Structure 1
């Protein structure tokens, strides 16, 4: 048995062990410093994270349109960026301004009628009593309001104040979100000018992290964003435009406000039925039989147009199954709101392709990626 310690441990005075420990400590310190700066950087940009994410999504989704418009204007990318930004702001701010003005005028008219006593509530019909469970209560409250509206308002004043404060809080929150989205549109306008450089940076980072597969996933994310923009937002804009056109042809009150609500409901995947069904019911009450039938027939395609066009446009050019994309759209919207509309399908698409690569690890890696995300082959 050999008990010579020189064969199991470094010779005394040999700096090999100490150098190894110092190298590890130095590496740990470097990682700690990088992590500290990364944490500080994330803390600094956290208040603007949503705005930056929206700006990146808008820049990726609208970059093909920016490139085409710049070519049409004689290779003038700055002018194209300004025009696209102005159009986006007009699409957002225009309907919001119309809704705000209409709401303010309606509230002002209601308050004026309350002051001069011209606001009269008709007597409830006897058929209200026959409504199940709540008929008697509604009939009593309705009858009291028709007899002495001022007394009813004084009685309900605490509840109305509480409900009003909550409503104002919700409106303020929505206003802040919309203001942030407007800022995102402005930031996206500045990103158009450096779009190619930013794309190269993103692909370089992805290549550093995952090689060719990482670059493919970046291209997959860009293709998914553009497909969702076409298939969800594009179809929603088409539905809102057709809705406004039909409502204007039949002189329906506030067509712009109704079309804007339809746009929002279609984007968040609720659908236009929540708004258009009451409008159709109103048409059958207020219009003659012929115009009501024509009005209903013209609005009916709006209920199904997204079911036909959305799956085709969302999955166009992607190898990811359409069901995965649609589940990402619905799940992302339900979980994270409007921004989840884009993040959901991106996350599910990348995870699906990662899963396919892992399951077919012996195959060529790029076979599981869509055509739009594969790297060009070198000849």
Structure 2
């Protein structure tokens, strides 16, 4: 009996001692749940502005050295320096867009006038078109109809044209929203230049609390990667676009704003300007005299090749991450996440590469210490 009483008393004491621990755990879970709920609500509130905030942060980091030099030249007037850089960035964005809009409107007006006056004529197709596989007969019939009665062909294709037009309007609308977001990011970045050092100190403190010296190294590597990608990708793309615009102006190429903008986008997304420059050279040999066509071709060749020389030097300068990892990050990020992936891709891959090296080194050091122990 005494033994049973003793055991029961021990069980009661054990249950009483475990109750505070269970209550503490429940309290901790409730606290974590409340914090997680507020974090989720905060993310849902901030999510519509996430792209703008990320772009603003990238622009601030990339352009801060230029801001610091300009502020020094202006005698320490930081607000004026931030205003000048913001206006220059807006000019770089709005200028080509305005040229594209006005150039496209002018071309559309000319095309509409010629179509209304019957000035658009379609030549008859060659007989060989009929023998093309799969689409030869239908293409030949539509081509003949276009050459004899273009209005009838347009009425026949009206449903398909309306569907394509609606899809094109949707694409243009999404592009317009993206451009407006980027313009907003440029304006927000203008307000971040002055408090930039304080924000950087907060980020460094947070990284130090999370991962110590390794976290500080990741922050510095992220900063270097952003600036190198901005110089090596965006900077080289702007140089190629500027040189291409000059050549287009010299040779009076039609729609120069649209062509220059296409070169800029193709260079930024790492496709290169060749899909635009090659048809431009062919147009030169068909529309210009031999001397002008040769001069146009000789000027377009270095514009298309300049990125192969400058980009590897500028992107990899000052980074310990191999150039191959950076380029894979640039290409993969752009293909997966669009323009913003151009910066996020190399940053994520660089951090992962550094973490992988640390893990491998730690494993090799453990293996070397094992036998000696």
Q: Deviations over 1:38-67 (max 9, x none)?
A: 111101001111111111111111111111
1:124 aligns with 2:124: yes
Determine the structure 1 residue equivalent to 2:277: 276
Q: What is the CA distance between 1:248 and its match in structure 2?
A: 1.6
Normalised TM-score (structure 1): 0.89
Deviations 1:2-37 (A, max 9, x none): 98649976847x965333333222222222221111
| Counterparts of residues 113-262 of structure 1 (less than 5 Å) | 113-115=114-116, 117-124=117-124, 126=126, 129=129, 132-133=132-133, 134-262=135-263
Cα deviations by residue, 1:141-188 (Å, 9 ceiling, x for unpaired):
222212111111111111111111111111111111111111111111
Q: Deviations over 1:293-343 (max 9, x none)?
A: 221111111222112211111111010000000000000000011110000
Which deviates the most, 323-332 or 125-134?
125-134
| Number of residue pairs the alignment of both structures matches | 361
Counterpart-to-counterpart distance in 1, 2:65 and 2:174: 33
CA deviation vs aligned residue, 1:95-129 (integer Å, no higher than 9, x gap): 111111111222222223333x3333142253653
Whole-angstrom distance in 2 between the partners of 1:302 and 1:284: 18
Unpaired segments ≥5 residues, structure 2: 366-373
Distance 2:98 2:83 in 1: 21
1:263-302 alignment runs, 5 A limit: 263-302=264-303
Alignment of 1:48-59 (within 5 A): 48-59=49-60
Deviation at 1:136, TM superposition (A): 4.8
- Which residues in structure 2 correspond to 1:89-128 (within 5 Å)? 89-115=90-116, 117-124=117-124, 126=126
Q: Distance in 1 between matches of 2:294 and 2:164?
A: 39
When you count helix as a share of all residues, which structure comes out higher?
A: 2
2:173 is paired with a residue of what secondary structure? helix
Instruction: Return closer, same or farther for 1:27/1:243 CA change in 2, 3 Å cut-off.
Output: same
Q: Are the equivalent residues in 2 in contact too, given 1:10–1:17 (CA < 8 A)? A: no
In structure 2, how many angstroms separate the alpha carbons of the residues matched to 1:267 and 1:120? 36
TM-score, length basis structure 2: 0.91
- Whole-angstrom distance in 1 between the partners of 2:122 and 2:351: 60
Q: Deviations over 1:234-290 (max 9, x none)?
A: 110111111111222222222232111101110011110111111100001111222
Measured on the aligned residues, the alpha-carbon RMSD in Å equals: 2.2
For 1:263 and 1:355, the matched residues in 2 are separated by: 35
